[in-house]
Amino acid sequence: MRSRSEPWASCPLKQEIRAGVWEPFIRSLTGGRPLQNYLTLYSPSLMDVKHLSDTSLIVFDGQVYKGVVGVTYDSTAYAEAIRQGMGRPEFLLLGNIINILINVREPNHKKLLDMFPFEAINLDYEDSIFSGNVSFPISQHIDALDRLFDMQYKKGCQKFCLFVTSRAEQSQFAPSFISELEKIIDQNLLIAPSFGQAFNQTYGVNAAADLLSSSYDDFATLGLIKLIISMLSDRDYEVTNCDVKWLNRDEKGGRERLLHLAFLIEKSARQSPQSATRVRQYGRRKLQYHARHLLNYLHNRATKGLNILKESVDRGTLQAKHGDNVMKLLSKTYQLKVPEQVPEQ
Using one digit for the tens of pLDDT, what is the confidence trace for 263-296? 999 998 655 455 665 555 555 555 455 556 677 8
Label residue 339 by pLDDT band (50, 70, 90). Answer: very low
Predicted TM-score (pTM) of the model is 0.89
Mean pLDDT of 115-137: 87
SS3 state of residue 237? strand
Worst-scoring range by mean pLDDT, 19-23, 29-33, 120-124, 288-292?
A: 288-292
Domain annotation for the chain: domains and CATH numbers:
2-331 (3.40.50.150)
SS3 state of residue 265? strand
To the nearest 10°, the Cα dihedral for 231, 234, 236, 241?
20
pLDDT at 85: 47
Q: How many CB atoms lie within 10 A of CB 331?
A: 8
Q: Output b/e per residue, 223-249; b: 16+ Cβ within 10 A.
A: bbbbbbbbbbbbbbbbbebbbbbbbbb
Cα(76)–Cα(259) distance, integer angstroms: 28
pLDDT at 7: 64
Q: Output b/e per residue, 274-284; b: 16+ Cβ within 10 A.
A: eebeebbbbbe
